[in-house]
Amino acid sequence: MDYGDVIVHIFEEGVRAYYELEKFWLDAPKIPLETEAKKLSVKS
Residues 9-41: tens digit of each pLDDT: 889 999 999 999 888 888 988 877 775 556 666
Question: Residue 30 and residue 27: Cα distance in Å, rounded?
Answer: 9
Using left for φ > 0, alpha for ψ between -120 and 50, and beta otherwise, residue 41 falls in alpha
Q: How far is CA 19 from CA 11, 14, 39, in A?
A: 10, 9, 34
Record the pTM. 0.42
